[in-house]
Structure 1
Amino acid sequence: MGAGDARADSTRLEEEPRRRELHHGGDGGGAPDLISRLSDEVLGDIITLLPTRDGVRTQAVSRRWRPLWRAAPLNLQVGYGLSSQHTNHANLATKILAGHDGPGRCFTMPGFRLRNRLAMVDAWLRSRALTGLQEINFSYSKQQQQPPMPPSALRFAATLRFPNEVAPSLKFPHLKELSLVEVTISEDAVHGLLSGCYVLEILLLERNVGIGRLRISSPTLRSIGFSGPWAWEGSEAKFQELVVEEAPRLERLLPLYPNLGPATIRVMRAPKLETVGLLSAAISKLEFGTTAFQEMIALSLTTSMATVRVLALESLGPNLDSVLDFLKCFPCVEKLYITLNRLKTVKNARIYNPLDPIECLELHLKKVVVNDYRGMRPDVDFAFFILNAKVLKDMYRGESIPHAALLLSPSFPAAASP
């Protein structure tokens, strides 16, 4: 046997354990391990999606898997998913950060009590293992006053994609979805924040304190959901006005809880708007271009929003006259959601005139959902009137409409019952 043959035999002997690991998952028996045949990059992506404790455990699968966790983007969740014993969370987090090479993918601290650990958390955030972090989530315990987010968190401003707490001077070039819920923040801070989100598509502003008047101009926003703070927060905290100045890609405009504000909504330019609602008399002033409503009563109907396909209204009575005015403003609505408000009785005076047709009823309206339908005379009158819709296919008695979920959904979900 020559030297070349000896080297070949030696190579085969070294590769044989590797082949057995790939075939049997490293345990010497069983079905072929097809997952281990994937590339390191794909396996790293899989490990990153696992809870932290499970990701660490993948090192024990086989020699093939042993180095993968340290090379995969780190997903670190400091909580009960990391350890069943609360006192071990901090020690385990420190050990994991020391043993991982980075980069970071997600760092989460749900309900974590900082107490005197601010310096420790600051050191965590400065760790090499979190370099390039894309997602950070702090949820402090409500049982005591908590300090602000450590300043070291701001070093991820250039890479964060889903931050939960921000400063107005920062830029977030990759951020596509921003939710601010029950936080105290000034309108200037929100304006500054939005100006630094160059690709933002989804914006949720719900029950926040400090936003009085907000003006939005964005070339990328597709969905806006908003409401004011709880009533007990005080009059000085109320959300007074929302103005959409320029939103060329906006598709969904969603007042989540009209009773909480804003009192005034103005849409100056949104040429692709498709879904609007819930609109109610709690919105004192409502403007679409030069069309204006005051507490759901039309003042002028000069601008037609022909792009809107889905419309949700809260109607007093039901106020059939008001609904028809909205259908004139939105002539191409295909799905109409009506929530009946019983606080006021309204006498409807309008009779449908075929010589003065409403385009929506003649050509487009295919589905109507009436929430809180009780079969009373005004309800029946409304139902029979809607039957004038010539292409109507479905009319349902529905449940209350979910709102925040519509930020991601292109249309309202189906009604609960016919």
Structure 2
Amino acid sequence: MAEGAPIIYLDPATVAEARRRGDDPRKLEECTKYVMTHIYLSLPGPPVPIAAARTRAAAAAAASDGVDRISALPDAILRDIVSRLPVKDAARTAALSRRWRPVWRSTPLVLVDAHLLPRGRSFGVSVSAPTRADTPGIVAAVSRVLAAHPGPFRCVHLLCGFMGSYQAQLEHWLRFLAAKGVDDLILVNRPWPLEAPLPAAILRISTLTRLYIGMWKFPDIAGLPTNTAFPNLRELGINAVAMEKESREVEFIVARSPVLETLNIQGGNTQVLRLRLEHRSLRCVQICSCSVENLAVVDAPCLERLVLYDSLSKDDSCVRVKIVHAPRLCLLGNLETGFHMLEIHDTFVSAGIRSSPSALFTSVKILGLNVNFGVRHDAQMLPNFLKSFPNAESLHIVCAKCTEATSLVSPNFWDDAGPIESIVSHVNVLTIREFKGEANATSFLKYFVQNAQMVKNVSVVLANPQFTSYSIDTLWIAKILKSVRWASKISSMQVYRSDDREGGLIWSFQRGSDYSIRDPFVY
């Protein structure tokens, strides 16, 4: 962060404490900005983007010939028009004429606090982003709208306020929404201080179909009524939310959401995650940048997508991933061969041990793996992981960062590992990202193209040289691939150089849960 740049996220007390300890508060500010950026990128966008709304309003004004044709439209169409306006513009329609006065109050509104920011401020993480000085005005405006409108609300997105000092107002808002009804709620706090408590009133909003929360401390679930339920909730996002040690809060909501389809969890200031999934309607589960200890998919008959991206461990221990019953699972990633302890149908996947029929998962068609090719054990685990998913058609491998290389596997290792059914007979797309030209990775790539009879497209994405000591020429890797005999006669090959940071871009929850995108791992 540039010297003299404004500190937005840290409160004065945190800045003073950092300086008292001899720390640079700007480093903490930069770290917080990084976390908040990823939270914002993971959130669904508002149904009424500011720029688009202003453009439509300007176009309508320019096209006006002075004749009021809109007021003659039926009430249902007028309400639909008002529901698509920013809340300030929606409220102003009541002043147009007597015809419009009841429309605003009878329309499920879109309330996005970014629409309430002063001119010159914008939602985001730039210098013009909301500051603490903007929060009182935002709080007052949101309070007026919630008090004046009888509800229900089409959606409420509150992301711009530093709410740590406005707990009473937040409690009132959530009580209003529980009483008046809201379908889509996104509530993100702008720290500091961290772990501002989220009022338990949020767990009493039974009308929700989508809920995202970020940068809060989860409310205590011990004293909640046993009949707490979310009968309409279909999408749940939990972003950098502090929870109890056992992470029981996630299972609490999931168990009380009978039609839930999408569960997204993003780390930040969460404790170690332990999650046991037994749910009849879940289709997509995505866990990103979390410290995970144990994930067990016990009974998820509708689960189609399971994504573990950038798994963390506080004590460098392996993460146990157990899949018992998920017959529709077709997309799985990004399993890390040296970090995830994979258990399928009560059978562990282990290096050097022949895969048994009980350790096969035949429904998976799209497979993502992280492999540290510089570590002998991690590379040796790759064949066993691949053999566990014999029908995989798309294979996406990320070459993990290697901090301490070990000995290489033998040149014949891949052949000695025995036939890999997915590579020989099914994989038609291969991408290898963050490729650094390591010997183990290069020998695997050669083995793949020499044995993959169905492959149609091979893409190699070289690591950005700004973030690695490796320097590989695209022509060099293209020459290697052309020097071996390909098993497939109809294939295309692309070699790119990445412009992204090390490890690539952060995983997109929205892309991962978009079922119109068959393969969200495609580079």
Normalising TM by the smaller chain, what interval?
0.7 to 0.9
Instruction: State the AA in 2 paired with 1:403.
Output: W
CA distance in 2, matches of 1:401, 1:368: 19
1:242 and 2:298 correspond: no
Mapped contact 1:312–1:337 kept (Cα < 8 A):
yes
Q: In 1, Cα distance between the equivalents of 2:252 and 2:192?
A: 31
Could you tell me which of 41, 59, 62 is aligned with 2:94?
Answer: 59
Change (3 A) 1:181 1:68: same
In the aligned structure 1, how far is the partner of 2:199 from the partner of 2:339? 39
2:256 is equivalent to residue 221 of structure 1: no
Identity of aligned residues (%): 26
Unpaired runs of 5+ residues, structure 2, are 1-59, 120-133, 462-497, 499-503
After superposition, the Cα gap between the structure-2 partners of 1:114 and 1:28, relative to the gap in structure 1 and judged at 3 Å, is closer
Number of corresponding residues = 380
Other structure's SS at 1:266 match: strand
Alpha carbons 2:280, 2:300 under 8 Å: kept = yes
Query: Which residue, 154, 161, 175 being the options, matches 1:105?
Result: 154
CA shift digits 1:219-256 (9 cap, x unpaired):
11111122564xxxxxxxx5321111111111112111
Residue 361 of structure 1 corresponds to 423
- TM-superposed CA distance for 1:113, in Å, is 4.1
Do the aligned partners of residues 266 and 153 (structure 1) sit closer, same or farther apart at CA in structure 2, a change above 3 Å counting?
closer
Contact 2:304–2:331 (8 Å) recurs in 1? yes
Bigger CA drift: 373-382 or 281-290?
373-382
User: In the alignment, which of 185, 191, 197 is matched to residue 136 of structure 1?
Assistant: 185
Out of 455, 459, 463, the position equivalent to 1:396 is 459
Partner residue, 2:393: 334
Are the equivalent residues in 2 in contact too, given 1:98–1:129 (CA < 8 A)? no
Shift of 1:391: 1.2
Residues 166-199 of structure 1 show CA distances to partners (whole Å, capped at 9, x for unaligned) of 6645311111111222212233333222210111
Amino acid at match of 1:162: R
Distance 1:78 1:297, change over 3 A: farther
The runs of 4+ residues in structure 1 deviating greater than 6 Å are: 25-29, 31-34
Query: Residue 253 of structure 2: SS of its match in structure 1?
Result: helix
Q: Distance in 1 between matches of 2:278 and 2:232?
A: 18
Work out whether residues 237 and 264 of structure 2, in 8 Å CA contact, stay in contact via their aligned partners in 1: yes
Report the counterpart of residue 196 of structure 1 in structure 2: 256
Contact 2:337–2:369 (8 Å) recurs in 1: no
In the alignment, what sits opposite 2:321?
A: 265
What pairs up with 1:36-185 in 2 under 5 angstroms? 38-60=73-95, 63-78=98-113, 81=116, 83-84=118-119, 87-114=136-163, 117-127=166-176, 131-144=180-193, 148-150=197-199, 152-156=201-205, 158-163=206-211, 164=213, 168=221, 169=224, 170-185=228-243
Deviations 1:291-325 (A, max 9, x none): 4224x665743322111111111223277654333
Instruction: Answer with 140-149 or 51-60: which moved more.
Output: 140-149
With normalisation by structure 2, the TM-score equals: 0.63
Aligned residue identity for 1:93: V
* Aligned mates of 1:200, 1:123 — CA distance in 2: 27
Looking at structure 2, the residues matched to 111 and 195 of structure 1 have their Cα atoms a distance apart, in angstroms, of 31
Give the TM-score normalised by the residue count of structure 1.
0.77
Shift of 1:146: 7.3
Amino acid at match of 1:220: S
Corresponding residue of 2:23: none
Name the counterpart of 1:233.
none
C-alpha distance in 1, partners of 2:422/2:388? 10
C-alpha separation in 1, matches of 2:254 and 2:233: 10
Distance 1:393 1:59, change over 3 A: same
Matches within 5 A, 1:204-215: 204-207=264-267, 209-215=270-276
Max Rg structure = 1
* Residue 401 to residue 314, structure 1, CA distance change in 2 (3 Å): farther
In structure 1, stretches of 5+ residues that fail to align are: 1-24, 230-237
Q: Which moved more, 1:171-180 or 1:37-46?
A: 37-46
Conservation of the 8 A alpha-carbon contact between 2:395 and 2:429? yes
